[in-house]
Amino acid sequence: MNPTQPVVRHLVHVHYHGLAPGDPRYPQVLDVLATISARAQALPPDAAVADLTGAERYFERGPEGLAQLIRLRTLAWSGVATTIGAGSSRMLASMAAAVTEPGGITVVDDTDQAIAAFLHPRPVAALPGVGPATARTLTHHGLQTVGDIARAPLATLQRLLGAAAGRRLYERALAHDPRTVTPHALPKTTTVSHAFDRDELNPDEQHRAVLALTHQLGSRLRGDQAVARALTLTVRYADRTSTSRTRTLSEATAHTPALTRNATALFEALGLQRARVRAITLTGELGDVASATHQLTFDPNDSKAYRIETAADRARRRFGPDAVLPAALARRGDR
């Protein structure tokens, strides 16, 4: 190999089928992936990304051969089916996985022609970081596909989206994605999820689901004597795609009003309008309850809210989880 020739990196995005949030098989499938590549990063609750650079030489296989090996080992050792995308960046690998039929493998070759042929026909919403609000802005101005963005002047995108966001989108449309795989231990988390009976378009119902999840999460945290130091809200849509947002809390907490404020802010930041939502998941990254702090205030309502919350928890333990509910959730049974 020519030492001056840049190394082409190959990455895979692995989607694991049938894993619910908190599924005990998730750490198992990550262990399987680690037998192929030492550089693997968990993407809870049901995905992971791995850098195959180095593994190709060790196993004497290209990206497609290694993807087949990952699929075979995962199914044989854990019984979990996979869908895998491979490309020269995290973005390409994840986008390839998103358009792959369940159980299949899609590899985007590392030539400029192959990358453009894959990227340019995709809708703008397929690019990472493009939520419904951004997609509406772009399509309103005639930018329907990734190819349209790649051919648009950078100044136009920056005028529409802002300097930083416009440049980031432009670079992604040109397949520039500097993100690397960062191996780390899977953080301890607790997850609650709400699946709608049908694809839900009503924003009020979506907000009520978020409210219900924060109450479930808060009750679980307090029951486990735990606190959350970060929240991740994941919205899954009818077309199997999903959007996630994460926020580190100003102080680790198990207090439901604080969880509700932060989760609601995460949900509203998505800017969903008429989105066909299939499920919403809220994950709390656990912190050390011994080191958790609470900012003292002179507001008597603050300590009163904590006393009410403690009493409500006692009632739920005695009479069931629905014994005490906010008014917005209590009327749910009347539908």
pLDDT tier at 189 (50, 70, 90 boundaries)? confident
Give pLDDT tens digits for 202-213.
999 999 999 999
Whether 170 has a pLDDT exceeding 90, the answer reads: yes
Whether 310 has a pLDDT exceeding 90, the answer reads: no
Distance of CA 114 to the CA centre of its chain: 27
Per DSSP, 125 falls in state G
Give pLDDT tens digits for 255-293.
888 999 999 999 998 888 888 999 999 999 887 665 554
List beta partners, residue 326. Answer: none
- d(CA 98, CA 193) in angstroms, rounded, equals 22
Average of per-residue pLDDT values in the chain: 85
Q: Give the model's pLDDT for residue 4.
A: 47
Q: Exposure of 264 by Cβ count < 10 A (0-12 exposed, 13-18 middle, 19+ buried)?
A: middle
Whether 133 has a pLDDT exceeding 70, the answer reads: yes
Cβ–Cβ under 8 Å, residues 58 and 28: no
Q: Give the model's pLDDT for residue 302.
A: 52
Distance of CA 12 to the CA centre of its chain: 16
Name the more confident of 74 and 165: 74
> In 3D, which of 248, 247, 205, 191 has the Cα closest to residue 44?
191
